[in-house]
Structure 1
Amino acid sequence: MTDSAEAPPIRPKAQEIRDFLHYPGWLSGAEQMALVADLRAVVAQAPLFSPMTPQGRPMSVRMTSAGRFGWVSDRRGYRYSETHPAGMPWPAIPETILAIWRAVSGTDRDPECCLINFYGEGARMGLHQDRDEADFTQPVVSISLGDDGLFRIGNETRGGATQSLWLHSGDVLVMGGAARLRHHGIDRIAPGTSLLLPQGGRLNLTLRVVT
């Protein structure tokens, strides 16, 4: 008698790159499509918006969030907020996304924020640190969907040698321990490298414990 139950997916082992844990191809194609469907539901409740820097310059990425908190930026500064700029609370983090965090984060706490960044052609994110959270012992988990993105890893202080890594659709990256306060950013995306998003572009989800 054979077992007709679907076998669990075989997950890749982590590759350590400058203290980051990189899980290439963690998500199957079907899992990626399911995540995109869940994200469409989030965006329907909390639409993508174009943030401004405190200096009044528009950022090249569009963003929204899910969870108790969302990350916002405007002339008042960079910060977490319990409401979308339009005034509504953020939707809950989908269970499909929470399952990834629970599998790779190494912490018993669940994330309080899932920041969703959309990179269209020409969008980038300069080197920065994630320092707005209260507990740096909690990791940040990043999920890549769509077109490839060139991720750059720096140091805890600005300057010095950096290392670059192409992140592909379905990759998961964990920034914890010695990597938690390293500068990092996205130098560019490679348009047309994925068919996951019908209009192209890259979605990056970053999961964080805020309090």
Structure 2
Amino acid sequence: MTKINVAVLVYPGFELIDMNGPIDVFVKANRYNQHKNVYQVFTVAESLDEIRSEHSTVRITPDYALSNSPQPDIIVIPGKIMSTDSPEGFGSVSNELITWIKKQAQHTGITIMSVCVGIYILAKTGLLANRRATTHWLSISDVQEQYPDIMLVKNVRFVPDGNIITTGGVTSGIDGALYLLETMEDPDFSQKIADIMVYNREAPLPPNTLLT
């Protein structure tokens, strides 16, 4: 089976489960797939400088910078939870990062997935225009106001639209990655990985998150 490059973007303040959830899906897939190490998972950032996660709780050194990253087949864009006193808006990243995503999107066969409020970064690229998408339930109305050309879907864990997948809040990045795995492998294998992760794909959404 052909190797598949999974690039996970990281930037200051990224949300840990947004990043780690999808990574764990592909790591587990490598472990239990008969085709070992199909998924080449790596982190990519603007530079190779150390990056701190949300509230600076974890520090990581990216595997690659934008300038030397291998060509990805899948790009995962985690969200960033802003502090209440932050002067920055959601999706506050450099133009260089936005340009890189747009450039990668031109490659045939690539899939791009945003997790939670990572949709703000993806929306800035223009790639979501006239597409169906979702995000964290607390951000649905704000994204709709800022980007009225996106067709926001409420009360779902993820939305696939062509080569773009958007997911709801935090743990739903796992749902998006399992869906991707299902399309590349088969439903039984994807469910096996969910079971190994003790993750219930059929669990109802929490009642207090449902929007009318």
TM-score of the superposition, structure 2-length normalised? 0.29
Q: Which has the higher helix share?
A: 2
Q: Which has the higher strand share?
A: 1
Q: Return the structure number with greater relative CO, CA threshold 8 A, min gap 6.
A: 1
